[in-house]
Chains A and B, each alone.
Chain A
Amino acid sequence: MSENQRRPITARRVILLLVVLAVLLVPIPTFHTPHSRDVVIDASQFEYSPPRLNINRGDTVNVTLNASDVVHGFFLDGYEIDSRVEPGISQKFTFTADRSGKFRYRCSVACGPLHPFMIGELVVGPNEPVWRASALAVVAAAAVLLGARKRRMA
């Protein structure tokens, strides 16, 4: 490959790098004032109700956790909150949703065969990770396609 051919590739790479950095780092503005929210979560074999919780970043979440059939647990990914709840005795805890993204809550007390898959989702919005990752996927696919336009691959 000659010097002439290498230059435009380098320029392209710089542009690609800038685009990737932009996708990863451009701040997403939010116009949300944090407030306190009360949430009741019911655990039963093998589901949580609600199965998916949407809250805004910065909110303070007051959780009341109930179990309706057998002993269950509640482990929140990312926030590492763990709680154990038995039917009739509710549990209360509070946390501040200071990280955006999706965090699964999972049963932490074996409760039957499907226990490992007893999962709910807390989405702290705006869900920056998924948007950035998706944009990155589009950029990656486009970059490989366009970058290969004149390259012999096989």
Chain B
Amino acid sequence: MTGKMGNRAALVVLVLVLAGIPASIVGYQYWLRPALADHRVVDIAALVPENGGFSPDLIRVGVGETITLRFAADDVAHGIAIGPGLDIDLGQIDPGHVGEVTLTPDSPGVYTYYCNTWCSPNHWRMRGILEVVDPTAAGAVGAPPDPIIEALIAASVDIDAKPQLAEGISPDRPNGEQKLETVEVPPGLLDPTWRLSHTPAEGLVALQAQNPEVADDVLTDVTAYLWSEPTPTVEIKELFAKNCAACHGELGAGDGPAATSTLETPVAFADVAWFRRGDIWYAKIRRGGMGTDMPNFGTLFTIEETRLLVDYLWSLSFGES
């Protein structure tokens, strides 16, 4: 190995090592790998919003085009999901890991990819848009109108008005269920749509008018039972735990771990339930709370999910856990 030959061989090895290793790493990642893929691969860095959130945060894809999205978490664990219409949940991606999904969207629209695991005080800002465009159709795709919110606006209801506090009301829901048969319930109260646009307090008034002889506390229990009637499903409880509990607390007491970092103390559902309309809760969830840190979930939850979530909030308010 001595002499010129060995020396020259060593020099070649040296260059191969020092230049070849970095070059092949970068070359593979940024040139060869995309070149080998038969469709577009988009690498998305996922960082807490303070450090840039998703980058890129806007991806355009044509209808029928196959695309692979690779989400790389770099700082803390993020939960990666794509909202209604695509309904993808990649689960949590730990730092240094990459989660990927390949999809071929078949209907145009604006889809939101977002973090669904609390990752920072600005966690809810961690969102990006996947825009599926149909080159043949003209015009921008807008969000479909939301009938419940439209109705609120039409009725000039102030969605962001401060809720009245209902102090000291702790109805006995099981008792309400037992006593349901013994009281006369006005038809409105049995109609979920009516209940959605009325407060339990209004419901109680209606019940009292119909049943003047029944004690108030029994009617209170019955009202509580009616408003929280559907038993929450496991899925909806999970939805709440993942998206709401960090601020509002696991049982909706307004005491989540992030409760201290928000602009206003997060609502404790039991405190405001009595004077709160379900459709206002619905609107708050879908479009966010103006002037508070309540983010909008309209692009993340389906309308049906939001309705079920509102029902679950009543359950939390009236002691279902």
Contacts and interface: CB of A to CB of B under 8 A. Distances in A.
A129 interface: no
**Among B77, B120, B249: residue with most chain A CB under 10 A:** B77
B76 A71 contact: yes
Contacts of B241: 88-89
A70 B75 CA distance: 10
A119 interface: no
Contacts of B79: 86
B291 interface: no
A110 B79 CA distance: 14
A103 B248 CA distance: 34
A27 to B, nearest CB: 44
B257 A109 contact: no
A71 B246 contact: no
B295 interface: no
A109 B256 CA distance: 21
**Among A89, A90, A110, A112: residue with most chain B CB under 10 A:** A89
Main secondary structure of the interface of B (DSSP, over half): loop
A88 B76 CA distance: 16
A70 B249 CA distance: 15
B75 A112 contact: yes
Given A67-B257, A112-B76, A86 B95 contact: no
B142 interface: no
Contact of B246 (A87, A109, A110): A87
Contacts of A55: none
Contacts of A86: 77, 79, 92, 117-118, 242
A90 B92 CA distance: 16
Interface string A86-102: 11111000000000000
Nearest to B245: A88
Query: How large, as a class, is the contact surface on chain A?
Result: 10 to 19
B69 interface: no
Contacts of B250: 88-90
Interface string A38-75: 00000000000000000000000000001111110000
B257 A66 contact: yes
A131 B124 CA distance: 50
Interface residues of B, number: 23
A87 B94 contact: no
Interface string B201-224: 000000000000000000000000
A90 B250 CA distance: 8
A106 to B, nearest CB: 15
A20 interface: no
Contact of A69 (B92, B242, B249, B257): B257
A111 B77 contact: yes
B260 to A, nearest CB: 9
B258 A87 contact: yes
B119 interface: yes
Nearest to B118: A87
Nearest to A42: B257
A56 B21 CA distance: 55
**Among A67, A87, A88: residue with most chain B CB under 10 A:** A88
Interface of B: 75-77, 79, 92, 94-96, 117-120, 241-242, 244-247, 249-250, 256-258
Interface of A: 66-71, 86-90, 109-112
Closest 9 CB pairs of A and B: A88-B245, A88-B246, A71-B77, A87-B118, A68-B257, A70-B76, A110-B95, A87-B246, A87-B257
Given A68-B258, A88-B246, 11 more contacts: A69-B120, A69-B258, A70-B77, A70-B119, A71-B92, A71-B94, A71-B117, A71-B119, A88-B244, A88-B257, A88-B258
